[in-house]
Amino acid sequence: MAKFKPGISGNPAGRPKGGRNRSTEQLRDVLRRFIDENIDSLQDEFKHLEPKEKFAAINQMLRHCMPPPMDELMRLSDEDLDKIIERLKAERFSMRSGDTAK
């Protein structure tokens, strides 16, 4: 088997770094259409789920629309997290009150 040098692609004409896989994009389009066409019935079905089932459904959906947690955030202490939360609350309050000064 050929040995490639680090940073040198075995297929320089291949998909660019960060480029989307065509089949993934096609699947996303199919799912978007399905959700758009069935949003009312999906919401009705969701209303009838048990609380545990609702949580599981939301958790599964979030995995597809939010980035995975960053390792750096996982290592923050509770004190650091509290500071971040307080800062975000203060920024949100200042935005609501129209205060744009920092």
Please write the tens of the pLDDT for every residue from 27-47. Answer: 889 989 999 999 999 999 999
Structural domains of the chain, count? 1
| pLDDT tens per residue, range 44-95 | 999 999 999 999 999 888 887 777 777 777 788 899 989 999 999 998 888 8
Between CA 84 and CA 81 the distance in angstroms is 5
- Cβ neighbourhood burial of 57 (10 Å; 0-12, 13-18, 19+): middle
pTM, whole model, 2 decimals? Answer: 0.42
If one compares 83 and 16, the residue with the highest pLDDT of the two is: 83
Does residue 7 lie in a domain region? Answer: no
Tell me the C-alpha to C-alpha distance, in Å, between residue 6 and each of 3, 12, 46, 60.
Answer: 10, 13, 48, 36
Q: Which domain holds residue 73?
A: 22-96
As separate numbers, helices (DSSP H) first and strands (DSSP E) second, the chain gives: 4, 0
Does residue 54 lie in a domain region? Answer: yes
Does residue 76 lie in a domain region? Answer: yes
Q: Containing H/E element for 23?
A: helix 22-47
Tokens standing for 96?
């609501």
Q: How confident is the model at residue 102 (pLDDT cuts 50, 70, 90)?
A: very low
